C-alpha cells in the first residue's frame, strides 16, 4: 500500500476513542509503514489490551474453575485426615499430574493449528482437527488408565510410604473416568477458545464448579464415602463439563462454520498433526512435571507426611496462580496464532510485548498477597499447627515462584501460538531436568535445607528457562513465522495451499 493511501488513515487517528474500533489489518499497516511516534504507543497498548482481556478474562475463569474442581476435592480430603490428604495429594500430583501434563500438552496442538486456521479463515478445517485430536487423546487415555489402576505399586516403586501409596491408589482408581472425560474436554475447550468463544465456556465452568462443590460436600460429609467418593464425584463433574461443551459445539450457531459434523477425514493425515501433538505434549509435560516433581521428591524426605502436606498446600496455591496465568497464556496463544494465521506479523509481535507486561504487573500483586496472608492460606487446608508452621516458612519461596509464573507461562503461550513446541521442549529438558532438578536434590538432601532446598533448585531451573525463552522471543523473525504458520496449516489440516505470505504483503 503506497504512502499516498496510507497518510489519510494516519491523519484520521486523532483521538483515543477511535483506536479500539480499528481492525488488525489497519494496525498492521500502521506499524509497518512508518516509525510510530511515542504518543501512539499508549493508545496502541489500550487497543491490544482490550482484545487481550476480552479473551483472557473468560479464559482465566475457565482455567481457574476447571482447576478448582480438583482443588476443592483436595480440601475436602484434607479434612478427612493428614494421611488421606497425603495420599490424595501424591496421587493428584504423581498420577493425575502425569495425565494432566500429557493431555494439556497434546491439546496445545489444537490451540496452534485451530488458532492459525481461524486467523486464515479456513473454518471447515477446525472441526476435522478437533475430531483428530479427540481420537489421539482417547488412545492416550486408554494407555494412561493402566497407570491409574496400578498407581499403588508405582508410588511405592518411587519411594513413597506404603500407607500413603495405598491411599493414593484408592483416590487414583476413582479418577479413571475423569481421565477419559479430560481426553475429550481438553480439545473441545481449545477448539472453542481458538475461535474466540470464551464467555460461554466460562459460564459452563462456573456452573459445574458450584454443582461439584455441593456434590462433594454431600458425598464426603453426609454419605461418608471417603476418598473413593471424592474421586468419583470429581470424575462425574468432568463428564458433566464434557456433555455441556459437546452440546454447545453441536447446537450453537456460533460453531456452524467450524463444526460441520463427524467426518472420516479425521482419520487421514494424522501423521503431520501427530508430530506437532507429540512435541506439544513433551513441551508442556516437562513444564508441569517439573513442579510435580517437587512434591514427589518431598515424599522421600524425613517425616514425609508433614513435608508432603506443607509442600502440597504451597503447590496448590502455586497451581492456582498457574491456572490464572495459563488463562492469560491461552489468550496470548490465541492472539498470536490468529494474527500469524491472518498474516499480521507486527501485530503478533506487539501482542507478545503487551501480554508480558500485563502478566508481570499481575504477578507482583499476587506475590504480595502470598506474603501478607501466609498463615491464613494454610488454615484453609489444615488445622495442624506443625503443618501451618511449615507452610509459613515456605511462603517466601512460593512468592518468588508466583512472580516467575508471571513470565514463563506467557512465553510458553506465545510459543504454542507460534508452533515452537519442539524447540521449547529441548529448552525445558536442559534447564529443568539437567540443571534445576539435580541442584534441588543436592540442596534438599545434602545441605539440610529439606523442602526449601529442593524448591531453590526448581527456581534456578525456571529462571534459566525463562531467560532462554526471552532470548528466543526477542530474536524471532515474525515475518518468517507467518510463512511457517501457512505451511503448518497446510500439512496439519490437509487443506489446499494457503497463501498467507501474499495476504501479509498485500
Under the banding of pLDDT at 50, 70 and 90, the label for residue 241 is: very high
Residue 255 located in a structural domain: yes
What is the reported pLDDT for 215?
Answer: 93
Average per-residue pLDDT in the chain? 78
**pLDDT (tens digit per residue) in 88-119:** 877 877 777 778 778 877 887 787 778 778 77
> 59, 64, 26, 56: which is closest to 44 by C-alpha?
26
Residue 20 located in a structural domain: no
C-alpha separations of 481 from 31, 252, 256, 342 in Å: 17, 33, 29, 11
What is the reported pLDDT for 80?
Answer: 77
Task: Give the lowest-confidence range in 76-80, 184-188, 269-273.
Answer: 269-273
Question: What does the pLDDT average to over 183-208?
Answer: 88
Judge if 261 and 356 occupy the same domain.
no
What is the reported pLDDT for 417?
Answer: 67
**pLDDT (tens digit per residue) in 411-447:** 777 777 666 777 888 888 888 888 988 888 888 888 7
Under the banding of pLDDT at 50, 70 and 90, the label for residue 142 is: very high
Q: How many domains does the chain have?
A: 2
Judge if 104 and 156 occupy the same domain.
yes
Judge if 260 and 328 occupy the same domain.
no
Residue 505 located in a structural domain: no
What is the reported pLDDT for 488?
Answer: 64
What is the reported pLDDT for 34?
Answer: 64
**pLDDT (tens digit per residue) in 50-79:** 888 887 788 888 888 888 888 888 888 877
Judge if 125 and 155 occupy the same domain.
yes
Residue 51 located in a structural domain: no
Residue 460 located in a structural domain: yes
Judge if 141 and 249 occupy the same domain.
yes
Judge if 288 and 239 occupy the same domain.
no
Task: Decide if 402 contacts 369 (C-beta within 8 A).
Answer: no
- How far is 341 from 335, CA to CA, in rounded Å? 10
Is it the case that residue 393 has pLDDT exceeding 50?
Answer: yes
Judge if 125 and 228 occupy the same domain.
yes
Residue 42 located in a structural domain: no
Judge if 292 and 252 occupy the same domain.
no
- Backbone φ/ψ region at 226: left (φ over 0), alpha (ψ -120 to 50), beta: left
Query: Which position has the higher pLDDT, 193 or 21?
Result: 193
Under the banding of pLDDT at 50, 70 and 90, the label for residue 82 is: confident
What is the reported pLDDT for 274?
Answer: 75
Judge if 171 and 300 occupy the same domain.
no
Residue 33 located in a structural domain: no
What is the reported pLDDT for 6?
Answer: 37
Please give the model's pTM, rounded to 2 decimal places.
0.72
Last residue of a domain, one of 268, 288, 313: 268
Helix axes 226-251, 82-91, angle to 10 degrees: 40
What is the reported pLDDT for 504?
Answer: 33
Residue 398 located in a structural domain: yes
Question: What does the pLDDT average to over 293-316?
Answer: 71
What is the residue range of 124's domain? 57-268
Under the banding of pLDDT at 50, 70 and 90, the label for residue 166 is: confident
Last residue of a domain, one of 241, 268, 295: 268
Most confident of 29-33, 284-288, 289-293, 403-407: 403-407
Eight-class DSSP state of 253: G
> 284, 287, 298, 304: which is closest to 401 by C-alpha?
287
What is the reported pLDDT for 213?
Answer: 92
Last residue of a domain, one of 268, 303, 327: 268
Question: What does the pLDDT average to over 10-24?
Answer: 52
- In sequence order, which residues have a C-beta less than 8 Å from that of residue 122 and are 6 or more positions away? 489, 493, 495, 498
Amino acid at each position: 500500500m503506497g504512502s499516498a493511501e496510507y497518510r489519510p488513515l494516519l491523519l484520521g487517528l486523532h483521538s483515543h476513542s477511535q483506536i479500539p474500533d480499528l481492525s488488525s489489518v489497519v494496525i498492521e499497516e500502521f506499524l509497518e509503514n512508518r516509525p510510530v511516534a511515542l504518543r501512539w504507543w499508549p493508545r496502541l497498548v489500550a487497543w491490544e489490551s482490550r482484545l487481550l482481556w476480552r479473551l483472557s478474562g473468560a479464559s482465566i475463569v475457565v482455567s481457574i474453575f476447571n482447576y478448582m474442581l480438583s482443588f476443592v476435592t483436595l480440601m475436602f480430603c484434607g479434612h478427612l485426615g493428614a494421611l488421606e490428604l497425603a495420599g490424595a495429594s501424591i496421587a493428584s500430583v504423581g498420577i493425575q499430574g502425569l495425565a494432566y501434563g500429557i493431555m494439556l500438552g497434546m491439546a496445545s496442538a489444537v490451540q496452534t493449528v485451530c488458532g492459525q486456521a481461524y486467523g486464515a479463515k479456513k473454518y471447515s478445517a477446525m472441526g476435522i482437527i478437533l475430531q483428530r485430536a479427540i481420537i489421539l487423546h482417547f488412545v492416550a487415555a486408554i494407555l494412561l488408565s493402566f497407570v491409574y489402576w496400578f498407581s499403588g505399586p508405582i508410588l511405592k516403586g518411587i519411594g513413597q510410604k506404603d500407607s500413603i501409596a495405598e491411599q493414593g491408589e484408592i483416590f487414583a482408581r476413582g479418577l479413571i473416568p475423569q481421565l477419559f472425560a479430560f481426553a475429550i474436554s481438553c480439545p473441545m475447550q481449545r477448539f472453542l477458545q481458538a475461535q474466540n468463544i470464551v464467555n460461554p465456556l466460562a459460564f459452563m465452568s462456573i456452573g459445574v464448579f458450584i454443582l461439584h462443590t455441593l456434590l462433594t460436600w454431600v458425598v464426603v460429609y453426609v454419605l461418608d464415602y471417603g476418598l473413593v467418593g471424592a474421586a468419583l464425584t470429581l470424575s462425574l463433574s468432568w463428564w458433566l463439563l464434557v456433555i455441556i461443551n459437546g452440546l454447545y459445539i453441536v447446537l450453537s450457531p456460533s460453531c456452524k462454520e467450524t463444526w460441520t459434523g463427524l467426518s472420516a477425514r479425521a482419520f487421514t493425515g494424522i501423521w503431520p498433526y501427530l508430530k506437532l501433538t507429540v512435541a506439544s505434549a513433551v513441551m508442556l509435560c516437562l513444564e508441569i512435571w517439573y513442579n510435580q516433581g517437587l512434591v514427589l521428591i518431598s515424599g522421600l524426605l524425613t517425616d514425609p507426611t508433614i513435608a508432603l502436606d506443607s509442600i502440597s498446600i504451597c503447590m496448590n496455591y502455586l497451581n492456582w496462580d498457574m491456572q490464572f496465568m495459563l488463562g492469560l497464556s491461552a489468550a496470548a496463544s490465541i492472539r498470536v496464532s490468529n494474527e500469524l494465521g491472518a498474516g499480521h506479523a507486527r501485530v503478533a509481535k506487539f501482542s507478545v510485548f503487551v501480554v508480558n507486561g500485563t502478566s508481570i504487573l499481575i504477578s507482583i500483586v499476587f506475590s504480595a498477597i502470598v506474603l501478607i496472608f501466609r498463615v491464613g492460606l494454610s488454615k484453609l487446608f489444615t488445622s495442624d499447627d506443625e503443618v501451618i508452621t511449615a507452610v509459613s516458612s515456605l511462603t517466601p519461596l512460593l512468592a518468588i515462584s508466583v512472580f516467575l509464573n508471571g513470565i514463563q507461562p506467557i512465553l510458553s503461550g506465545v510459543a504454542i501460538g507460534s508452533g515452537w513446541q519442539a524447540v521449547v521442549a529441548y529448552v525445558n529438558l536442559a534447564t529443568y531436568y539437567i540443571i534445576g532438578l539435580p541442584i534441588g536434590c543436592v540442596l534438599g538432601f545434602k545441605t539440610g535445607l529439606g523442602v526449601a532446598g529442593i524448591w531453590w533448585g526448581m527456581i534456578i531451573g525456571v529462571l534459566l528457562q525463562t531467560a532462554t525463552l526471552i532470548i528466543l522471543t526477542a530474536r524471532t523473525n515474525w515475518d518468517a513465522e507467518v510463512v511457517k504458520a501457512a505451511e503448518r496449516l497446510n500439512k496439519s489440516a490437509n487443506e489446499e495451499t494457503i497463501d498467507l505470505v501474499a495476504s501479509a504483503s498485500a
